[in-house]
Copies of this chain bind each other. A is one copy, B any other.
Amino acid sequence: MRADGRLPSELRKIIIQPDYLRSPAGSALIRCGDTWVLCTASVEEKVPPFLRDAGTGWVTAEYGMLPGSTHTRSNRGSSGRGKEIERLIGRSLRAAIDTARLGPRTITIDCDVLQADGGTRTAAITGGYVALCLAVRRLQQAGLLSADPIRHPIAAVSVGVIGGEALLDLPYEEDARAQVDMNIVMAQTQKGPAFVEVQGTGEQGTFDRRELDRLCDLAEGGIAQLFAAQSQALSEENPKGVRP
């Protein structure tokens, strides 16, 4: 039995509020238990230097934790951990989109953690996908895209091993004592679910092929529910589809 009463294969309660903010092209507040991440998608009509004159667009991500989001106040500003995370988010969201269809523009997904209780990077990916879709929808409504650049939904979840047992969606208290900790990003492709990123770490132990398999199974089950939550959030959105 887990401390919060969940089954090993049970997600925390998930709430995604689409178009949470007025200014950005797309935004979503995602709450996975006590982990809350505000994701915004901003569009700029320019691309990074390495894509100059390439005709294709770019999707990138930034990640931050508000100082009050953790039990002990954390300092503002970038850290090695933050850089690692925002690179993961950026790679994952680029897997969701055909940047050639975006035209020469950049969508920046900002993921700011309002409250942290484990799994902030996977929540950021799951919520960031919703913000990205909303921003793309706005570009389509404005007639700026000739074809839909979204390839397939992506979502992410953490899994881990504690005391030999594989668990889904670890809160901080579990994450801190897991022997193996894994973040899995998957896409919902036409051929079924497929991996986008698999990042497993055995900082307090090692793991074998059987455990890897079991963790992948658990993640696949959880991510199926996240795909459903994303889909609902995107359909709930303002039916008129245009914000004032």
> CB within 8 Å of B: which residues of A?
21-24, 27, 34, 38, 40-42, 44, 62, 64, 66-73, 76-78, 80-81, 83-84, 86-87, 91, 94-95, 108, 110, 112, 114-117, 182, 186-187, 189, 194-203, 206-209, 212-213, 216
Determine the chain B residues whose CB is within 8 A of the CB of A187 once the complex forms.
206
Given contacts A84-B84, A108-B73, contact A203 B91 (CB under 8 A): yes
Determine the chain B residues whose CB is within 8 A of the CB of A201 once the complex forms.
91, 196-197
Bound CA–CA A116/B72 (angstroms): 27
Bound CA–CA A213/B216 (angstroms): 12
Give 24 A-B contacts (CB < 8 Å), ordered by A residue. Answer: A21-B68, A22-B115, A23-B68, A23-B70, A23-B71, A24-B68, A24-B73, A38-B114, A40-B66, A42-B68, A66-B112, A83-B84, A84-B87, A91-B203, A94-B203, A95-B206, A112-B112, A194-B202, A194-B206, A196-B206, A197-B200, A197-B201, A198-B198, A212-B216
Determine the chain B residues whose CB is within 8 A of the CB of A116 once the complex forms.
23
Given contacts A23-B69, A86-B80, A87-B81, contact A95 B203 (CB under 8 A): yes
CB within 8 A of A40: which of B42, B67, B86?
B67
CB within 8 A of A194: which of B66, B78, B114, B208?
B208
